[in-house]
Every structure is written in C-alpha cells, then in structure tokens.
A and B are shown apart, each in its own frame.
Chain A
Amino acid sequence: MSLDTPPVAPEVPADRRARARRVGRGALFLVMIGVAVVMLYPFWVMIVDSLKSENQFLSGHGFSWASWRTLTSTIPIAQEVVSSTIICAVSILLILLVGLPAGFAFAKLRFRASGVIFLAIVSAMMVPLQAILMPEFVNITRLGLTGGYTGAVLVYAALGTPFSVFLFATYFRGVPDELIEAGIVDGLGYVGALWRLVVPIAIPAIATVTVLQFIQIWDDLLVGLLFIQNTSERPITVGLAVLAAGRTTSIPALMAGSLVSALPAMIVYLIFQRYLVKGLTMGIDR
C-alpha cells in the first residue's frame, strides 16, 4: 500500500479514497463474474455435453452434432413439447377462468362467509401434492381421467387456483369500488362488468399468474408422471426424467433434450421477468 501511494497522497485523501473505491468496484465486478460463471454452469454443461457423440463423451474430447441429428429418434421430443404446451395452455386457462372471478368476488362482491372461505382457499396453497397424492391418484384414476390430459390439467388447475385467487383478490382490493359500481349501474350486469371492465384492468395480474404458472407447470414432474398414463402423451420433463432414471440413454442426447425443454421457460422468463418478481413478493411488497 505504502509503496504505490505517491508521497503527495496524504495531502489529497480524496484522491486516495477514489482510487480505493475504484479498486473495490473492480473486485466487486470480478466477484460478480465469478457468480455468473456458477449460475451459467448448467447451460454450459448442457451445451458442451450435447455437442459430443457418445464415444466422444466417454473419452471427454471431441465435438459432434450427432446427438442433435438423432435427437428426434432418441427422444420423441416434438410430441413431448406439444404435450407440455397443451397441458400448460389448458391448465393456465382454467386457472384464470376460475381464479379471476373468484378473486374479484372475494375482493369486491363479498358474500356470506366469504372471508372464511377465502382464508380456506388461501390455506390450500400450503398443501403439497405429495400429502394428498394417494387419494388424488385413486380418485382421478377411478374417474378415468388418466387416459388423456384431463386428469393432469385438473390437478394442475387445482394446485394453481389458490395462489391465483389470492393474487387476484389482492390486486382487485387496490381498484376503487366506484369503477365497478358504475359499470353495474350502467346496465352491464355482473358478468358483463367482469368481462368488459374487470378483465381489462386485471391484465398485469393475469400476466403474473400466467408467467408463474407456465414456469411451474412446464417444469413439473410429479403430476405428469402419475396422472398421464399414455407414454405418447408425456410432457417433456417426464420424458427426460424417465429416460434419466432408466440410465440407458446417452447423456449427450439427454442434454440436448434438456436444452430444448429449458428454452421455452427461459424465453418466457427473460421477457416477463418483472411479472415474476411482482407475483413472488405479492402480499408483502405494497
């Protein structure tokens, strides 16, 4: 320190402080790059390992497009992505259709015992699927809903509804009563007011629910694994997990498939990041 400090330094302490700050900032920047390397590690593994043939992977050297070229024959990836998309879309639609009116009702159209019922629904947020897994599985199977997507969609919708009701109710509480009163008095009726007035106001909340649920459902394993019987209707996470657990599939192919499965959620995430943050801190950040 004393070596590279010029002798004039004591007279200009501001200069020294500025330099110390610059050094501090530089160190901080390096630490941040270090963290970035750790956080990007999964992507690096997926990319590097997918760009190898099976032999190259075992030897640890080389580069090849083989696993990408044969991806569709190793993993039914197109069909799995389609399944994931259908399941996500229908589940989210159901969650919105059910959650938005309910959230609106609990916030603005309070009825007898609505407070208690709201509390009960919010509490359901805390029930993990595993806790009710056995009865749920038997019920859905008995109703014959494991054949297509219906069973999985219903379970996802039920699991996603409590949070969406909570989020919509919190959101609508911030909307002035007069806005809705006016619409109802104008003769729109309740359904009309909901559709023409409430839904347009609620776009940010709808976006938040959609983004959160998309990532949740797209990334989930358990529901898809148990509530979809036909292997030809499997979503992508289930396809990957089952292959991985079987331990017979080549890792390069598995990594290529993983990358494909990660892309949609990453894109949604990068575009709608702020909605995600908003949803996450809903209830304490107001």
Chain B
Amino acid sequence: MTGTTVGARAPRLTLRRRRQLAGALFALPAVALVAGLIAVPIGQAIYYSFTQWDGLTSTWIGPSTWTQAFHNPNLWTALENNAWLLLAVPFALGLPLLIAMLLHQRVIGWKIFRSIYFLPTAISWVVLGLVAERFFAFQGTLNSLLHFFGLTHVNTNMLGYESTALSALGITFVFTMIGTNTMLFLTGLATLDTSLEEAARIDGAGRWRIFRHITLPHLSRFIQLAFVMTVIALFSALFSLIFVMTGGGPGYATTTMEFLIYQTGFAQGDFGTAALYGLILFVLTAIVGIVQLRLIGSDE
C-alpha cells in the first residue's frame, strides 16, 4: 500500500521539478537581458554618482557630489521646468476625454474620425517636433491664424523667447498625447453599459449628472492609467521634441531633467553628475510608477 503511494509520487515529483526547471529556463533570457541592461546600470549609476567620471576614469569623491549637484542652479531650473510642464497634464487628459465623448456619440462617419484622430499617434515625436516648430515659427501657422482673425499687428515667436518657449513645448506635448489618451478613454467608454445611462435619462437625469455620476466613475481606472502614462511621458519622452524644437533653450528655458542629463553627459562630458541626475529622474518616475503598480496590482 505504502509502496504504491511512494511509487506513484516519485515520478510526479520529478514532473513538477521538470516543469519548474523548464519555467526557469524559459524566463532566463528575459531576466538576463533586463538585469544586464536595466538593473546593473541602476547600481552603476548609484556608484558613479559619488565619483568624478568622464566615461573612462572615475575618481571616488563621496557624498559631496550630491551636495554640489543640489547647489547647481541648472538642476533647479530643470526641475522647475518639469513642474511647470505638469500644468499641461489636465489638458492632455481633459481634451482627449472630451474628444472621446464626442466620438462615443457615434455620429455619421465616427469610425473615420476615430482613425484620423489617432493618426498622429503613429508619427515620431521628432517629426511632430519639426511640424510644431513650423507652427510656432515667426512665419508660421500661428501668426497666419492670428493675422487671419484680425490681429495683424501681433507677431509671435514663442520658441524664440525664454518666457514663452516652455509654453510652446507644453502645447506640443498636449497635442502629441491626444491620440493615445483618446484611444484609452474611448476603449473605456465602449465597456460602459449603455442601459445604465438610458435608465438615468428616463429617470430625468440631465446630461451633466449622467456624466458626473455614471460615466466619470466608470472611467476612473482609465483616467488613472492615462494620468500615469501622461506624467511618465512628460518626464521621459520629451527628449525628441526638445532636441528638434529648442535644443533646451533659449538659455535653459526648455531644459527638463531628461534633457539636462543628456546635456551634462554628452555636451559637458560630466558623466558622474549626469548619472546623478539620472538617479533623481529615476526617483521621480518611481513615485509615479508605484501608483501604476498599485493600479495593476489591484486588478489581480
């Protein structure tokens, strides 16, 4: 009796172990790739942030590199620019929400409109940056529009001045996010049970009340996801736009954290400080990332 149990158990155990072994081997390449090219560099960045480093030789300096970095006005300018750009986030969420609501009304040809609205999503931000530069240029579309509406004496050159360049960048950012966020919200609206809205309407609820009490709560998870994606893009995807539109200028007017890292490392050759700035960016995105992980986690 006991003999048969043991006999039956032994091969099953090996089967389980074989399965685990297969699992570990299947996961290994991905783990190695992520460890080698993402995890290890984080560790290196921590080490190098305490050194003077030009990419070839590094000399240990210690924590004073950090105090020194925090005394650098450029760092604060970059952080400040990032903070100002956060003002674009409500627009990058609100406009797509509005557009998604419009599309959801399903007027004639809404599918064609949907494709058109999403189309800029496919284009590189390098190209969109080039186009935005044309829009804001002295002889660009913005001034033509202003002239068309009778403001013939107004001539803007938003990218040319420290006071307005960041706003121009923010406006471009909002435009580039519209497609993705509209897509997210429209998907959310599609999962909304229309009978619920219908019932509320029959009960005499106005449009605003239906939106406020039924549509918006239903979309909350999609709005959260869009918020996280938008903020992360704001911190780490503006590089292409800045590179083609302003090069970080005029002065440091459009230098964000990610661009400061690039400039410090590759224009000034100060790899140590750039690595340190990278860690600051890492912490900033990690804060947003924790929100995102909780989002994913609460779903399981």
Q: List residues of chain A with CB under 8 Å of any chain B CB.
A: 25, 28-29, 31-32, 35-36, 38-43, 45-46, 49, 60, 97-99, 101-102, 104-106, 108-112, 114, 117, 120-139, 141, 154-155, 157-159, 161-162, 165, 184, 190, 194, 215, 218-222, 225-226, 237, 240-241, 244-245, 251, 254-255, 258, 261-262, 265-266, 268-270, 273, 276-277, 280-281, 283-286
B240 at interface, CB cutoff 8 A: yes
Q: List residues of chain B with CB under 8 Å of any chain A CB.
A: 18-24, 26-27, 29-31, 33-34, 36-42, 44-45, 48, 53, 55, 99, 102-103, 105, 107-108, 110, 113, 115-131, 133-135, 139, 141, 175, 178-180, 183-184, 187-188, 191, 221-222, 225, 232, 235-236, 239-240, 243-244, 247, 257-258, 261-262, 265-266, 271, 274-275, 278-279, 281-282, 285-286, 288-289, 292-293, 295-296, 299
In Å, the complex CA distance between A221 and B44 comes to 24
The reply to whether B183 and A280 contact each other, CB–CB distance below 8 Å, is yes
Please, could you name 20 A-B residue pairs with CB atoms under 8 Å apart, sorted by A?
A25-B105, A28-B107, A41-B131, A97-B29, A101-B26, A101-B30, A105-B23, A131-B236, A131-B281, A135-B48, A161-B30, A161-B34, A219-B126, A221-B126, A222-B239, A237-B124, A258-B127, A261-B124, A280-B184, A281-B222
The residue that A261 contacts in the complex, of B27, B31, B127, with Cβ under 8 A, is B127
The reply to whether A280 and B244 contact each other, CB–CB distance below 8 Å, is no
The reply to whether B178 and A39 contact each other, CB–CB distance below 8 Å, is yes
The reply to whether B126 and A240 contact each other, CB–CB distance below 8 Å, is yes
Residues of A close to B120: CB separation below 8 A: 39, 42
Residues of A close to B139: CB separation below 8 A: 60
The 10 A-B residue pairs with the shortest CB-CB distance in the complex, in nearest-first order: A109-B23, A126-B289, A128-B236, A158-B37, A102-B30, A219-B124, A269-B122, A135-B44, A131-B282, A101-B26
Q: Taking CB as reference atom, which chain A residue is nearest B95?
A: A35
Interface of A is mostly: helix
B160 to chain A, nearest CB (A): 13
Residues of B close to A159: CB separation below 8 A: 38
Residues of A close to B293: CB separation below 8 A: 122-123, 126
In Å, the complex CA distance between A112 and B281 comes to 33
Q: 14 more A-B contacts (CB under 8 A) besides A42-B127, A98-B30, A128-B232?
A: A35-B99, A36-B117, A42-B128, A43-B119, A98-B29, A126-B293, A128-B281, A134-B275, A154-B33, A220-B124, A237-B240, A240-B130, A276-B121, A280-B180
